[in-house]
Amino acid sequence: MTFPTPGIVLITGIMASGKSTIAQRVAEKLPKSVHLRGDVFRRMIVNDRAEMERDFSDAAFEQLRLRYRLAAASADIYCQAGFTVVYQDVIIGAVLQEVVDMLKKWPLHGVVLCPSPDIVAQREAEREKTGYTTWTPQELDHGLRNDTPKIGLWLDTSALSVDETVEAIFAQVDESLVRS
C-alpha cells in the first residue's frame, strides 16, 4: 500500500527531529506530490509577528493556529488539484487533534517523528539554523510524548538514517492511517 493521491501525509515532531528532510524524501517518492512546509506561513508575517517562546502570549498561539489553518487550506487546494500533500510542521500538544480535524476532507496519514531528546540536541548542533532559543529539546520532547494525542504512526528515528526512516514510513503506511 502507498499513500493516496489525492491525500495528505502529515509529518510532525519537535524541532530538529527531521521533519523537513523526511517530508521532502517522502514527497519525492510519490508520483504527484507537494511538500508543504507549514513554517512558511509564520515567516510571511512581516510586522507584529508573535513568536512561540516560553510563556507565549495569546497572540502567539492565535498566530500559530492561523498558520495551521493556512496550511490546511493550502493542502485542500493542492488535493483538489490531484496532488498528495506531504505537510510538515511542528504540531504538538492537544492542537494536533485540531489540525487533524482541519484536514478532514481528504484521506489522512499521520507520522510523528520522535527521536530521543539527546539525538535532537545533537542534530540541532550540526545544522546551520538554530531552532532552540527558549525551549530545550527535552522540554519539547516532554510535551510531545505526554501532551500530544497518539494519532498515526509514532516513529523513534534515533538510530535510523534518512533512507531508513523513509523506508519505515512506507512499510508502515497502514499504521499511519488516521482517516480514509
Range of the domain at 15: 7-179
C-alpha separations of 163 from 16, 24, 153 in Å: 17, 12, 17
Closest CA to 94 of 117, 68, 72: 68
pTM given for the model: 0.94
| pLDDT for position 54 | 76
Is residue 159 situated within a structural domain? yes
Residue 171 makes CB contacts below 8 A (sequence gap 6+) with none
Residue at 37 is within a domain: yes
The structural domain count of the chain equals: 1
Domain-located, residue 61: yes
Grid coordinates representing 99 are: 489540525
Instruction: Say if 93 falls within a structural domain.
Output: yes
CATH assignment at residue 167: 3.40.50.300
pLDDT at 136: 87
Within-domain flag for 1: no
Q: Which of 151, 53, 140 is nearest to 99 (CA)?
A: 151
User: Within a domain: residue 2?
Assistant: no
pLDDT per residue, tens digit, the chain (180 aa), is 689 999 999 999 999 999 999 999 999 999 999 999 999 999 998 998 788 777 888 998 999 999 999 999 999 999 999 999 999 999 999 999 999 999 999 999 999 999 999 999 888 888 777 766 788 899 999 999 999 999 999 999 999 999 999 999 999 999 999 988
Q: What is the pLDDT of residue 132?
A: 62
The per-residue pLDDT for 56 is 81
Residue 139's Cβ-side half-sphere holds a number of Cα atoms within 13 Å equal to 7
Does residue 45 fall inside a structural domain? Answer: yes
